[in-house]
Each structure stands twice: as structure tokens, then as C-alpha cells.
Structure 1
């Protein structure tokens, strides 16, 4: 009876998790010299040689294009008004202390010799691993080569969703374009389900 109850609880938790869409909290900071959307609002994406030769960028480039177009820009590789440059970076590290983010305790299930499955709590000896993902976008005037827009977005979480999280970060970085609020800000956006294509 107890085992059946545990199985039912685990099933309910799994179904609830599938029904809840994850969100991504991004730290964003932008700088702009633009007073309005450039006319025509066209751009060309220029990649560095290392980005051209990276297979990972084959997945990231469509996400950047989609975010730039959602921000109101139109791709024009022949006669663009703006030149766009992008960057991505990812890494891992430990949280700053054992209490991040939910305290030093974690729930778990284990086997008991006397009662079969048992549910309980265990003390975590080490802080969880954090996954940090960052993107940057720089826009330059195609005629003068002057930088007119610079923005970045970063996220730290105990879950890793690369590479699809980069699509959300590009959207966050371009929030408010072409006249974003001054200073650092936090942007929360939904994470597209796996298999939904480029965000």
C-alpha cells in the first residue's frame, strides 16, 4: 500500500511538472545611442571566423535571427542599415554557500530494509552546481561602423537548458530595443518546450 502511494505521488509530481512552463530570469544591461528604430530597419549578422567554424553556432544563429526580427529588424545581407555581432558564453560553478537556493536540505527517496521504499530528507554536504549562460549583441552603423547599440543578458540556474536557453536570452537582451531603460534590470521570459524549434 505504501509503495503504491509513493508511485502515485511521483506520477502526480511528474505530470504537474510537465504542465508548468519554465521561465528564465535574466540579468540584462543595455546601452543605446538610438532615438528611434533605424530606417530602413535592416541588418546583417556578421560572424567571427571561430563562430563560422563552430557547429554549436549552427543552432545559435537561427535563435539570434529570430530575436532580432522580433525586436523589429529585418534581415538584409546585401544592403543593411546595421551590422549585428553576437556572442555566447556558458560555464559552471558552485553556489555561494550551502543555503543557495533552497537551503542545505534536499528531498529524496531511498530503500529501507524493513519497509521497502522510504521517503525522507538528507543534508547536502556541497552547494549545488550553477550553470551560467550569457549572450551579447552589438549593433553597428553599417556606414560609419560606429557602435549604436550594445546589450547583454545572463542567467544562472541549477538546471541547464543549452542551447535552447540562448534564444530566450537573446530575446531578453533585446527587450526595449531601440530605447531600453537605463541601468541593469531583470527580465523573466518563458522557456520554449524542448522540440519546439528555435525560440
Structure 2
């Protein structure tokens, strides 16, 4: 029988945490993560009159469009990211029956898509004193509000502020604005916002774009939550 080492009070906990993490990783291979979005949409189809002066009904799929860009989105530094975002938006728009116009075709609609990310060092509700880097190997257990940690070997060591470990938290938003191409009038606007720790990825942005286009082209009024499940 192995005698517990009195100088390593956290060793057993560390081994247990590692084992639990391994089981969680194995069980999560086929799981999904939830992208919860706050969505708000505005439809103004009736604001676009026909040549006869009558209001235009809500357009039914299929429809064709072209992407339009703001001057800031045409900047060379932003071009690659905007290209990638528009490719994902085209996939989401195709799901609701809207496709990009072929070369030489003048479409009735233009679509402007934008995405923004704000990276925070921690979640808004977390204290900057909650998390630390411990010295040596193994996890570190911090004393909230103090610059000391208990390391995996059981030692109490000084850990100044710059050694504290923080897990980034991201606030993201996507928006789509649809205009009548001939007049430039905005006929549809929608945006989806999501907060979380997930790193940027195509599936994440696609989930947000799909959420923004939920109930298109006749969305309900007001802010609503749209959850999208994404395979891990």
C-alpha cells in the first residue's frame, strides 16, 4: 500500500482532477456546444414603394443579391477577414433562399455584413484576483485578494500580479443590412450578439449568422434569444 505523502496534500486532488478531465474529454468528443444569441431584427419591406406607388410585399425566396461594403471594410487590412465573413454569410443566406447574383446580373438587393469581437481579459463578473499561475507543476490554489498561492507540491509561494492566469472572455456581434439596390433604402436589418469563452471559428460565426437570420424575412418584434447547437 502506498503511504500518502504529508508534504503533498494536493497530489491526490491533482490526480483526481486529471482523471476527471480525461473522462470529460472522452465523453465530449461527440457532444455539442450551445451558442446562445441575443437577436433583434427589423423588417421594413413595406417602406419600399413600387413604381405605381403601392407598397411592396415581403419578397419570397428565391432572391438574388450582391454584397456591398463600407469604406472601412474595403481597406486592405480588413479585406481578408471580410472575405471570410461574407463567405459564411453567403452560406447562411442560401439557407433562406437568397443566393449571390451571377457575374453580369444586376440584383434587386444588396447585403452588407459586419462582425465585431471585443476580447476581455476575464468575464465581466470575475474578479482580477480570482485566478493565478502557481509555481512549479500542478494546479495553483489562490488566496483571493492576496499575492500568494499554494502550488501542487504544497508550498506557499509569492505570485505577483503579472503571474496571475486569466481566461479570456469574448463579446461578439454580427449584423446584416439588406438594401433595395436601386434606391439604397434599408429594408431589413438584423444583428446577433453572443458572449463566451469560445475561440473564434467558422462554426461559431456561422451559428451567429444563422441566428441573425432566424425568422427571416418576417421576424417577430423585440429582442429574442436564439440558441444554436454546434458540434464540438
Q: Partner of 2:177 in structure 1?
A: 138
Q: Partner of 2:126 in structure 1?
A: 98
1:126 is displaced (CA, Å) by: 9.1
1:50 is displaced (CA, Å) by: 3.8
1:165 is displaced (CA, Å) by: 1.9
Cα distance in 2 between the residues matched to 1:72 and 1:30: 18
TM, length-normalised to structure 1: 0.75
Q: Partner of 1:84 in structure 2?
A: 111
Q: Partner of 2:98 in structure 1?
A: 73
Between 73-82 and 140-149, the greater mean CA deviation after superposition? 73-82
1:159 is displaced (CA, Å) by: 2.5
Cα distance in 2 between the residues matched to 1:62 and 1:177: 19
Count the aligned residue pairs: 178
Instruction: Kindly name which structure, 1 or 2, has the bigger radius of gyration based on alpha carbons.
Output: 2
Between 16-25 and 163-172, the greater mean CA deviation after superposition? 163-172
Structure 2: gaps spanning 5 or more residues: 3-11, 46-56, 140-150, 155-163
Q: Partner of 1:44 in structure 2?
A: 66
Q: Partner of 1:176 in structure 2?
A: 215
Cα distance in 1 between the residues matched to 2:61 and 2:97: 11
Contact 1:30–1:183, Cα closer than 8 Å, also in 2: yes
Cα distance in 1 between the residues matched to 2:44 and 2:227: 25
Higher strand share: 1
TM, length-normalised to structure 2: 0.65
1:182 is displaced (CA, Å) by: 0.4
